[in-house]
Amino acid sequence: MKTSVLRIALLALSILGISLLHYLTPLHLPFLHDIFQRLYYLPIILAALWFGFSGGLACSLAVSVVYAPHILFQWGGHLTVEMEKYLEIVLYNIVGGVTGLLAQRERERGVELQKTAEGLEESYRKLQAQSERIIAIEEQLRRAEKLSTLGEMAAVLAHEIRNPLGSIRGTAEILRDDYRPGDAKHEFIEIQIRETERLNRVVEDFLRMARPQPSEKGRCVIQEELETIVTLVSNDARERRIRLVLEPPAADAVVRADGEKLRQAFLNIVINALQATPPEGSVDISTMPCQSDTDSPFYEIRFRDSGAGIDAATMERIFEPFFTTKQDGTGLGLAITRKIIEAHGGTLRVESEPGQGTSVIVRLPAQEETP
């Protein structure tokens, strides 16, 4: 608005200044009048460029009004003698109208191009979002293919390994009774039993990863589940000299979930955090309500450790089945955990930098309380 007012003022001043030059210059200096006569084109063209057709025509009409008295009264108004000056007035209006029309069309064309550019940009964003969704779907299909392979392997493992493992463990427990603690053979048998239990856990992890587990979801208070987990691992944390802190939430965080499976997911995360944290370190657990982009409320459970962190190459693979950096790990813990969280409509994300510790963020949709 201020720019338009300034431009109108500038045009008015320029027309007034050129008209004063005409009226104040003696008639015996016609070459100066010819120069002043053509100076009128400057405000006319500027008005056309700034305000379009209406601006150019209005300015040319204003010039005509202030210039006509000069022709009529100072030059005597002889039509045959001063025909050139009258034609100049006609030309003022033609130039103002044509230039304004062209400028207006160019401006409208610019607006159309701008809208087209914005539409193309929006289309690009949509295509980019669709591309990201396609990549995510492809990743899910690859995971589904892996899970399908795991299902076939699990069936074989259940038949070929679990039964013999049970026999081996039973036999080892019988033999252990024949030797007293401290005996070398007693220690060997204890190792055999522990390794048998570990192999059995690996098989169970295969089964959980590969086969969907039926679950009954109900009202579940997150803080109560976390308190149970803290109680279970508190002795382990003390032995490792790690401070385990469960922060109280501002309000009860209630979700619809299978409490047993949720405890299993939380337990996997806390155990990983304790194993990654050095002595005198800490593991902090907190819960807070959040709001998503779709206005659906959810709760964010954050597990933060003060360990060594995870490098970028390892971060890209932490959810891959069978990938592990631990000597005795199966590489299924985080994969199973994410599967449990996603089965509850939530998400699991890991944030970490080398030397800065690791944060595992779980988001679960809040249960709508019914009155």
DSSP string, 63-122: HHHHHHHIIIIISTT-TTTSHHHHHHHHHHHHHHHHHHHHHHHHHHHHHHHHHHHHHHHH
Give residue 147's identity as a one-letter amino acid code.
L
pLDDT for the residue 303: 95
The residue that leads in pLDDT, 162 or 214, is 162
- Pick the last residue of a domain from 187, 210, 233: 210
- Pick the last residue of a domain from 193, 210, 227: 210
> pLDDT tens for residues 84-133?
677 778 888 888 888 888 888 888 888 888 898 888 998 888 888 888 88
Within this chain, do residues 223 and 348 fall inside the same structural domain, yes or no?
yes
> pLDDT tens for residues 221-277?
999 989 988 988 888 899 999 999 999 887 788 898 888 888 888 988 998 899 889
Among 67, 78, 58, 10, which Cα is nearest to 40's? 67
Among 264, 276, 269, 266, which Cα is nearest to 240's? 276
Residue 371 has pLDDT above 60, yes or no: no
Is residue 131 one of the residues assigned to a domain? no
Within this chain, do residues 178 and 223 fall inside the same structural domain, yes or no?
no
Q: Two tokens at 26?
A: 């003696």
**H or E element: which one contains 143?**
helix 83-157
2 band by pLDDT with thresholds 50, 70 and 90? confident
Is residue 124 one of the residues assigned to a domain? no
Domain count, the chain: 3
CA angle 64, 69, 72 (to 5 degrees): 115
The DSSP code for 162 is I
Within this chain, do residues 198 and 318 fall inside the same structural domain, yes or no?
no
Give residue 88's identity as a one-letter amino acid code.
E
pLDDT for the residue 300: 92
Is residue 126 one of the residues assigned to a domain? no
Within this chain, do residues 203 and 255 fall inside the same structural domain, yes or no?
no
Half-sphere exposure (Cβ direction) of 118: Cα atoms closer than 13 Å: 6
For residue 29, give its domain range.
2-119
Residue-wise over 64-81: b if at least 16 C-beta within 10 A, else e?
bebbeebbeeeeeeeeee
pLDDT for the residue 269: 92
pLDDT for the residue 244: 93
Within this chain, do residues 263 and 357 fall inside the same structural domain, yes or no?
yes
Within this chain, do residues 206 and 148 fall inside the same structural domain, yes or no?
yes
- Pick the last residue of a domain from 60, 88, 119: 119
The DSSP code for 158 is I
Within this chain, do residues 29 and 90 fall inside the same structural domain, yes or no?
yes
Give residue 93's identity as a one-letter amino acid code.
N
Among 110, 99, 113, which Cα is nearest to 51's? 99
CB-based contact 249:288 (threshold 8 Å): yes
CB-based contact 320:335 (threshold 8 Å): yes
> pLDDT tens for residues 275-332?
889 999 999 999 998 876 666 788 999 999 998 888 888 888 888 777 777 766 666 7
What CATH number is associated with residue 255? Answer: 3.30.565.10
Q: Please state whether the predicted TM-score (pTM) of the whole model is above 0.75.
A: no
Residue 206 has pLDDT above 90, yes or no: no
76 band by pLDDT with thresholds 50, 70 and 90? low
Helices (H), 211-351: 222-239, 259-276, 312-315, 333-343
